[in-house]
Structure 1
Amino acid sequence: MKKLTSNLTVQVLTAIALGVLVGAFFPGVGAALKPVGETFIRLIKMLIAPIIFLTVVLGIGSIGSLKKVGRVGGKALLYFEIITTLALVIGVAAANLIRPGAGVDTSAATARAAETQKYADQAAGMDWVAFFTHIVPENLVGAFAQGEVLQVLLIAVLFGLALTRVPEAVGRPLLSTFERLSHVLFGVLAMVMKLAPLGAFGGMAYTVGTYGLSTLLPLAKLMASVYLTMAVFIFGVLGAVARYYRFSILKLLGFIKEELLIVLGTSSSESALPRLIDKLTAFGCSRSVAGLVIPTGYSFNLDGTTIYLSMASIFLAQAFNIPLTLGQQLTIIGILMLTSKGAAGVTGSGFVVLASTLAATKVIPVEGMALLLGVDRFMSEARAITNIIGNAVATVVVAKSENEFDEAKNRLALAGAVQPESDVLPPEHPLPPAHEPGPR
């Protein structure tokens, strides 16, 4: 019994259930618990930049080849583009087949149109060229201070490549120091993860307490359609990819179940980013591949977000009785292929992307987005979970294609014989004194 209650999966599941109950029966208390979930996410976010930096630098230091780094990055980006395009097509097809927008009352959209104006304004001001130039930071410290994942990734790649070119007498001690720092940071992550149930409880209580389960009823068909489509994508498309590369999607999901539950409770995929790198390294992927693919995927491989955006666009057209031709639907897919990448890292990026897409098509009214405000928070959990699963599968695929996947380690991990570093708290023993006192 003690072993069961100390299991992180059981703790997080219990916390999510309690969060739903508190939010449903005591909505005022649930809404007031927002800082609890946010504080946990902030604790995780403070570790993201340094963990990515150290992981990538150590990984490239072990690769020692610019050509191989470029090949891994190129494979990852090609895979991302193929899979996210499939996700867009599946989302559009599912929305046309299920027709979740048929018969929806659109009167609420006019009443809440002002709430969507801020997203329309943000979309109008977005500069897609600026997004890509923003990947290059103005200074090293700013990238870490602001938690810009892609900027930190770029710095880490350049730093790691530079380390492979300096004399061994310079590079080796630095790599050794970074290795020690990496162990310490994963020790900190292990301590922070002890608070995961509290973060999941606060996040779920806030969501249910603020938005209420009653808000789900008018758009229940849309929610059910989105969840069903994402499940088909995960077990159909990603499952087929996994079978082709000879690994089990179910075993992978079982291995990262704690991360999926944390994402479910907090509605934030960032809450699992540093631990996912550690988990997939334990699963058998080389740390260098995991360190490169996962941070890049958080901006360019948002499978869940692309499914939701494509379905939401078609849903709004159906709700307003606007028939879309095949050409118009293909145009929506083409626009989303660009905009879904361009808003990565923007607060409320899902709505910003949707607003920019609707504005670009000039067919579906932007104010219709007000229909989605009540259920967006609940669907963000499905988006985040699908995103993290997509990035986990992508990491294993790239690792296997590069012969950077340890099959023996994978078998041990699935048997429970390999523990991720962030699962193990550092031993409690004092550090030795910096120097022995000399004779007086």
Structure 2
Amino acid sequence: MCILKKVKPYTMALAITGGLIAGSGILPGHNIILGTADFIAELFMRLLKLVSLPIIFLSIATTISGLEKYDDLKKTGSQVLGYTISTTVCAATIALLLFLIIDPANPNLVNLATETAPSEQGMRYIDYLLNVVPSNVIQAFADNNVIGTLLIAVGIGVSSLSLPGDKRQTLHQLFSSLYAAVFQVTEWILKLVPVAIWGFTAQFVQSVMSQSLQLDTLSLYLFCVVGANILQAIVVLPLLLKRKGLDPMVIFKKMLPALQVAFWSKSSSAALPVALKHLKCNTDIDHKVASISMPLCISINMNGCAAFILTTVFFVSKCHGIFFSAPEMLIWILISTLTAVGNAGVPMGCYFLSCALLSSMGVSLQIMGFILPFYVMIDMLESAINVWSDICVTLAVNADNEMAHDLEASEITA
């Protein structure tokens, strides 16, 4: 669920308009206004970094430890997880290929390219990879080690599934309560989004006027993000349906109301009741499968988020002169998949995760400020595609169950 849906559209419009005017320099006290914009932008980024790591850890630990409630249908849960991982990996891979083909990043985008030689940067990143496994839990948070934190969260979450029922439930409740508390703090911070957008827009305009920001480069980045999401929606997911003997266009038309809710609300959770209603009423799906698969997919199936994270991390990193080798790119497909799967109910989750990953690498987040005003629109598309993926995965799981049932019936008859 994204708190941005609570912000009125005219508020966003006013923030962007005000930022355009403030950054243009036509108002008196221009330097003071720009100084205020810089202060607000820096404050917002610090607050984001403050809650990013805890919310990433708790969202993943809560999601995994809570899988016990699907114990009565473990087969369905494992099928959902399998399809979720495979479709999310596809989304991240498409994003990587599109990024390599278009190559939108410019190391001089905001005149922030590091002066360190590429080989030295490479060595620093290799050292970072070698130290992703922390020696203790506190070190992971103190060093802002996002990947190390992810490993700890996954390890604790998975291990909790083997605990006795009462202990597993207690641990899940602990994670859920802590997550709810951090989530509330996050909501308070995100109430500053309109003000932050004003500050970032003012910075954006000032950078354009001073010719330190190249609009064509930023446009190519946005094309990569949107293009990767659209390819996932119109190629990968329809192919999954066709493999199961389903007509993608027929399914799309039947589920369009749910996709519209997801698009305009920027919330997969908000679209869940509508999606379940139309699945149960307009398709031949097993109601039990739909009731288990859709809520689980809403929590962990984030195709659009994986594409955004990978593209954004690569784009911002390369704009700062940081390059990745082929093996590192493959590792980042897995990182993007894992972080997207853990993005359960995080407001502005993709944006948070990207900031946290970049921050852990020591990369400046200034370009993320330029991306923020556009993210509001990207989030609408990603939410709709995430729900479309949830629907496709649920129907694929149902088709597998029907096939298994038919096979068992034929064996009994024989």
Distance in 2 (CA, whole Å) between partners of 1:21 and 1:212 is 13
1:302 to 290, 298, 310: 310
**What is the identity, as a one-letter code, of the residue corresponding to 1:187?**
Q
Q: Which residue of 2 aligns with 1:215?
A: 211
Which amino acid counterpart does residue 346 of structure 1 have in structure 2?
A: M
| Aligned position for 2:401 | none
**Alignment match, 2:407:** none
Residue 94 of structure 2 corresponds to which residue in structure 1?
Answer: 83
Amino acid at match of 2:49: K
- Matched ranges for 1:252-267 at <5 A: 252-256=262-266
State which of 175, 183, 187 in structure 2 corresponds to 1:186: 183
How do 1:46-57 residues align onto structure 2 when only pairs under 5 Å count? 46-57=50-61
2:154 counterpart of 1:157: yes
- Name the CA shift for 1:198/1:87 in 2 (closer, same or farther; >3 Å): same
**1:166 match:** 163
Classify the secondary structure of the residue corresponding to 1:118. Answer: coil
TM-score (norm 1): 0.54
The C-alpha deviation readout for 1:368-388, integer Å capped at 9, x for no partner, is xxxxxxx97897569967986
The answer to whether the 8 Å contact 1:57/1:157 transfers is yes
Shift in Å, 1:18:
0.7
Give the 5 Å matches for 1:387-406. 396=387, 399-400=390-391, 403=394
Deviation at residue 234 of structure 1 after TM alignment: 4.5
| 1:73-108 deviation line (CA, Å, top 9, x unaligned) | 74266324431243135516xx8xxxxx9xxxxxxx
Structure 1 residues 333 and 73, CA, compared in 2 at 3 Å: closer, same or farther? same
Alignment check: 8 A CA contact 2:261 2:270 kept: no
CA shift in 2, pair 1:40/1:392, >3 Å: same
> What letter is aligned with 1:297?
A
Count the aligned residue pairs. 320
Residues 15, 197 of structure 1: 8 Å contact kept: yes
Report deviation, 1:22.
Answer: 0.7
Q: How far did 1:36 drift? A: 0.9
**What percentage of aligned pairs have identical amino acids?**
18
2:192 alignment partner in structure 1: 195
CA-CA distance at 1:117 after TM superposition:
5.3
Q: Which runs of 5+ in 2 are unaligned?
A: 1-5, 242-251, 273-293, 336-356, 397-414
**Deviations 1:107-161, CA, capped at 9 Å, x for gaps:** xx9xx9x974525357544355444444322321222344433322221111112
Residue 306 of structure 1 contacts residue 336 of structure 1 at CA under 8 Å; is this kept in 2?
A: no
Cα shift at 1:176: 2.4
Note if contact 2:61-2:156 (Cα within 8 Å) is conserved in structure 1.
yes
Cα RMSD (Å): 5.2
Look up the match of 1:365. none
Structure 2 SS opposite 1:138: coil
Residues 57 and 156, structure 1, Cα contact 8 Å, conserved in 2: yes
2:43 to 39, 63, 71: 39
Letter paired with 2:64: I
Separation in structure 2 between the aligned mates of residue 349 and residue 126 of structure 1, nearest angstrom: 19
Alignment gaps of 5+ in structure 1: 1-5, 96-100, 102-108, 257-278, 314-331, 351-374, 406-440
Corresponding residue for residue 283 of structure 2 = none
Task: Return the alpha-carbon distance in structure 1 between the equivalents of residues 381 and 311 of structure 2.
Answer: 6
SS state at 1:302 partner: helix
The aligned amino acid for 1:79 is C
What amino acid is the match of 2:90?
A: Y
CA distance in 1, matches of 2:10, 2:141: 34
- SS at 1:20's partner residue? helix
1:104 aligned residue: none
Letter in 1 for 2:204: T
- Mapped contact 2:16–2:198 kept (Cα < 8 A): yes
Letter in 2 for 1:213: M
- Distance, in Å, in 1 between the alignment partners of 2:209 and 2:88 is 38
What CA distance in whole angstroms lies between the structure 2 residues aligned with 1:386 and 1:122?
Answer: 37
Asked if structure 2 preserves the Cα contact closer than 8 Å seen for 1:20 and 1:204, the reply is: yes
Note if contact 1:55-1:287 (Cα within 8 Å) is conserved in structure 2.
Answer: no
Q: Name the CA distance, whole Å, in 2 between partners of 1:288 and 1:237.
A: 16
User: Displacement of 1:194 after TM fit?
Assistant: 1.8
Cross-structure match for 2:66: 62
Indicate conservation of the 8 Å contact 1:227/1:382, yes or no. no
Q: Is the 8 A contact 2:20 2:205 kept in 1?
A: yes
Partners of 1:164 and 1:53 in 2: CA distance: 17
CA pair 34-388 structure 1, distance change in 2 beyond 3 A: same
What is the CA-CA distance between 1:243 and the residue it aligns to? 5.9
- Aligned 1:234-383 pairs, distance under 5 A: 234-235=229-230, 238-241=233-236, 246=252, 252-256=262-266, 279-284=267-272, 286=295, 290=299, 297=306, 301-303=309-311, 337=329, 345-348=360-363, 380=371
